[in-house]
Amino acid sequence: MPLVAHNNLPSFNRLRGEGIRVLAPDFALHQDIRELHIGLLNMMPDAALAATERQFFRLIGESNPIAQFYVHPFTLPEIERGKNAQKHVDEYYQTFDQIREQGLDALIITGANVIGPDLSNQSFWQPLIEVVDWAYENVTSTLCSCLATHAVLEFRYGQKRIPQPDKKWGVFPHQIVDNTHPLVVDINTRFDVPHSRWNAVTLEQFQVAGLRVLAELDDGCVHLATSPDGFRTVFFQGHPEYDTISLLKEYKREAVLYAKGERKDYPPFPENYFGVFEKAVLNEYRLRLDEAMSSGSELPELPEDLIVPRLNNTWRDTAGEVVGNWMGLIYQITNSDRRLQFMDGVDPDDPLGLR
């Protein structure tokens, strides 16, 4: 499913450099392939804004080539931005009013950084509810990532996320628990997904909400689920969109906070991510960092160049298959006017035949 560079967003050129097929709009017009218009509500903070764009654009662009994808990023004006990030948004993003006017076939909602445990106190809370409610009535399917999943579970299903004693941080194995759903057709029955969160919505909460759980971690924590109809809302609790280096970047940010005195303890290693060599390099870095902090000398740089080449990505293939299945599902049940289409004998309340 090739992406279409319908504006000058810099992420398109970055993705071209990675070998991902990105069509020029003039070329796309001459292709006899149906379009799908995907909204990306990017709520991530400034430092991760562009990287998050590329991560989700990449997942979409590497899907099965049965459509042309126009991805429309937008954000919420209530989220405070720095000067450079706001310039990026003003130049390359659309407004929610524009998104509503043009319509979408599908919507992806990213996570966000929050202050404090209560989501309902966040600046994005009411605007996010407005977007989700609009999408539920006007968009074929919405995919919620991590914190967006927690928010929707709270305001639509009354299930409030639960703070965890330790951060769920690393790359974790998952098991398919419902292999009859189109989202998980032909994917590995066991697969990895990165997680990075202090809070969780439990299996019991998903079940009480009447949601359809498709994949769990080995400890029973839910990663992938859908709304009862099987397609209107898709929930990710992990981060299958992450780049290979994303957890390393998070580790580096935490180490910098420690060096600045903004974190009391040195960060632990993300689980199942660094190998023996990488851990040895980082342990040596910590010793040099502590010595520099004690002596007041210049702080050492984290040796990323020694670590990045040795990192493994064990989740991208399955992530691409799930998103590809999602896109194929949207393509099948949505017509060219962005309305649900049903064949004779198909129940409009259960178009996938899952009940």
Q: What is the pLDDT, as a whole number, of residue 5? A: 72
Cβ-proximal residues to 7 (8 Å cutoff; 6+ apart), any chain: 92
Question: How many CB atoms sit inside 10 A of residue 228's CB?
Answer: 14
Q: In CATH terms, is domain 3-242+314-333 a member of 1.10.3720.10?
A: no
**Ranges of the chain with pLDDT below 70:** 1-3, 18-21, 23, 25-33, 64-66, 335-355
Could you say which of 53, 154, 216, 241 is catalytic? 241
Could you say which of 223, 239, 278, 321 is catalytic? 239
Q: Which residue's structure tokens are 């990165």?
A: 194
Mark 125-157 as b/e (b = at least 16 C-beta within 10 Å).
bebbbebbebbbeebbbbbbbbbbbbbbbbbeb
How far apart, in whole angstroms, are the C-alpha atoms of residue 297 and residue 289?
10
Residue 172 gets which letter from DSSP?
Answer: E
pLDDT in tens, 14-50: 877 765 657 676 544 444 467 889 999 999 999 999 9
Q: What is the pLDDT, as a whole number, of residue 29? A: 47
Q: What is the pLDDT, as a whole number, of residue 307? A: 98
Task: Supply 124's token pair.
Answer: 């994005």
Helix (H, G, I), strand (E, B) or coil at 124: coil
Q: What is the pLDDT, as a whole number, of residue 337? A: 61
Q: What is the pLDDT, as a whole number, of residue 345? A: 46
Q: What is the pLDDT, as a whole number, of residue 99? A: 97
Q: Which residue's structure tokens are 């909204």?
A: 39
Q: What is the pLDDT, as a whole number, of residue 341? A: 58
53 is catalytic: no
In contact, 175 and 189? CB cutoff 8 Å? yes
Domain ranges across the chain: 3-242+314-333, 246-310
146 is catalytic: yes
How far apart, in whole angstroms, are the C-alpha atoms of residue 258 and residue 250?
13
Could you say which of 6, 72, 88, 146 is catalytic? 146
DSSP string, 216-245: EETTS-EEEEE-TTSSSEEEESS-TT--TT
Residue 309, CB half-sphere, CA atoms under 13 Å: how many? 3
174 is catalytic: no
